[in-house]
Chains A and B, each alone.
Chain A
Amino acid sequence: MKTLALHILDIAQNSITAKAKNIFIDIEEDTRENRYVIRVTDDGSGMPEETLRRVTDPYYTSRTTRKVGMGIPLLKQHAEMAGGYVSISSEEGKGTRVEAVFEHGHVDRQATGDIAGVIVLLIGGNPEIRFRYVHRYNGNDFSLDTREVKEILEGVPVNDPEVLKYLREMIRENLSGIGAL
């Protein structure tokens, strides 16, 4: 994973696999507090405590197609490299929350990357899931909720290529408006 946006794409795939209907992606950047926080919250199936204890182990995976699961371990490594940590809480039947904290100004903190592209990819690939994306930067914020988008579109599919292209540009412009790009 070269960027934080790709980590978000990866972590959100776990939520999708857990059959989440709502996925909330929050990014909080605070340069004054030197904090960069990523939070992915879902209402998927959640995990029992036993599984939760093993998710940071690269030799644990829920898949049968391969024997390793690098998603969470890589995120943890990258967070710790940048003076931060990953914390995960989960409740069976309720959902899971993954939080990764970084030092904003740490030299080893990965760049945000193409977060607009990632959000749009998640929306396009999973039109039935509601995504809410909130990005805060030093007190300014931008948010996008696919529930609102769908209301506006009135039946035009949210994964129509033109809609996706528009959303991508909209996110980019707004992020640069709040100073996050």
Chain B
Amino acid sequence: MTKIKSLADLKKKKEDLQSKIALREKSDTPEGRVLVKVAMATCGIASGSKEVMEYMVDELDKRNIDAIVTQTGCMGYCYAEPTIEVKLPDQEPVVYGYVDTRKADEIIEKYIRNQELVDGIIPVNYQTIEKDKEE
């Protein structure tokens, strides 16, 4: 039987990772990185945002795209979940709706790699529901 992984083994892997990260930091500044935010509220989770986020983390790493993938709350586009916001360096963020892993692949290949806009953008809208929550 193979040994179950433990934190002790992670320690051994650490040095490998340290050199990889040092290399990356030399080549890039944080502002130069792609920022992906996955909407992860109840509506997003119920629609599959977990799978989309996992896909983004794994695939961007596999395809050697230096990106930060984080979570955000509900942007009010519950009908279009899962939604993700992609911000390329020096550009306005773009929100995509109805993102599944296939759409995510298209966004990585076309938009993130080549700045080609992909179908499924949610237009910018500054309205929220009435502000009756003034405190």
Contact = CB atoms under 8 A, between A and B. Distances in A.
Mostly helix, strand, loop or mixed at chain B's interface? helix
Interface residues of B, number: 39
A4 B65 CA distance: 33
Interface in A8-33: 9-10, 13, 16-17
B74 A6 contact: no
Contacts, number: 111
A1 B74 CA distance: 16
Interface of B: 4-7, 9-11, 13-14, 17-18, 20-21, 38, 40-43, 45-46, 50, 53-54, 57-58, 60-61, 69-71, 73-76, 78, 128-129, 131, 133
Given A6-B45, A64-B131, A118 B5 contact: no
A149 B128 contact: no
B10 A160 contact: no
A156 B14 contact: yes
11 contacts: A9-B40, A65-B76, A70-B43, A114-B50, A117-B50, A125-B38, A125-B69, A152-B7, A152-B10, A160-B21, A174-B5
A169 B54 contact: no
Interface of A: 1, 6, 9-10, 13, 16-17, 63-67, 69-71, 74, 114, 117-118, 121, 124-126, 148-149, 152-157, 160-167, 169-170, 173-174, 177
- 10 residue pairs, one from A and one from B, having the closest CB atoms: A65-B76, A161-B61, A125-B71, A170-B5, A71-B42, A173-B4, A156-B17, A70-B42, A152-B11, A10-B45
A148 B71 CA distance: 23
Mostly helix, strand, loop or mixed at chain A's interface? helix
B58 A9 contact: no
Given A10-B42, A13-B40, A117-B50, A170 B10 contact: yes
A38 B133 CA distance: 32
Contacts of A118: 50
A164 B7 contact: no
Given A170-B6, A170-B10, A69 B42 contact: yes
A69 B40 CA distance: 13
